[in-house]
């Protein structure tokens, strides 16, 4: 059974970088059938897909236009985790952030979710 465990700070100052990690158990970050997604949820924006990363002999990334240029995904096969970095945050980036397992192409329904991390952007 796949489980995702999120970690990272719950408070980030404006203009700084939000960093979260999602540790995978029961699967591999370099799985040939999985895609690793980040999704956030806020009262004002609802559920918002931020992007996904997947490995098919090389890494592929899809990012939402709303955060493109500020967002980076990374993976660490030795620790079997993947991470999100969101730069130059503003209060509008305050949300609950989730990692989720999906797949590539149109098969990207989210079968497993992390527990969620409330990130508040405030000084």
Partner 1 sequence: DIQVTQSPSSLAASVGDNVTISCRASRSLSSYLNWYQQTPGEAPKLLIYASATLHTGVPSRFSGRGSGIDFTLTISGLQPEDFATYYCQQSHSTPNTFGQGTKLEIK
Residues near partner 1 (CB under 8 A): 46-49, 51, 62, 64-66, 98, 100, 102, 106-111, 113-116
What is the C-alpha to C-alpha distance for residues 77 and 17, in angstroms, rounded to an integer?
A: 23
Other beta carbons less than 10 A from residue 43's beta carbon: 7
Quick one: 6 or 75, whose CB is closer to partner 1?
Answer: 6
Quick one: 7 or 16, whose CB is closer to partner 1?
Answer: 7
What is the C-alpha to C-alpha distance for residues 56 and 103, in angstroms, rounded to an integer?
A: 11
Quick one: 57 or 105, whose CB is closer to partner 1?
Answer: 105
Quick one: 11 or 111, whose CB is closer to partner 1?
Answer: 111
Residue 123 beta carbon to partner 1: minimum distance, rounded to whole angstroms? 27
Residue 78 beta carbon to partner 1: minimum distance, rounded to whole angstroms? 26
Cβ pair 75, 36 in contact under 8 A:
yes
Residue 47 beta carbon to partner 1: minimum distance, rounded to whole angstroms? 4
Residue 55 beta carbon to partner 1: minimum distance, rounded to whole angstroms? 17
Contacts of 117 (CB under 8 A, 6+ apart): 6, 7, 8, 10, 20, 96, 97, 98
Q: State how far the alpha carbon of 78 is from the alpha carbons of 33, 89, 101, in Å.
A: 19, 29, 19
């Amino acid at each position: 059974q796949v489980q995702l465990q999120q970690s990272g700070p719950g408070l980030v100052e404006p203009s700084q970088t939000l960093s979260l990690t999602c540790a995978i158990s029961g699967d591999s970050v370099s799985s040939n059938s999985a895609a690793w997604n980040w999704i956030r949820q806020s009262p004002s924006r609802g559920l918002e897909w931020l992007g996904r990363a997947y490995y098919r002999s090389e890494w592929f990334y899809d990012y939402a236009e709303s955060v493109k240029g500020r967002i980076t995904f990374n993976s660490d096969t030795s620790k079997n985790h993947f991470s999100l970095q969101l730069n130059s945050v503003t209060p509008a980036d305050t949300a609950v952030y989730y990692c989720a397992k999906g797949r590539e192409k149109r098969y990207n329904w989210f079968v497993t979710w992390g527990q969620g991390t409330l990130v508040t952007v405030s000084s």
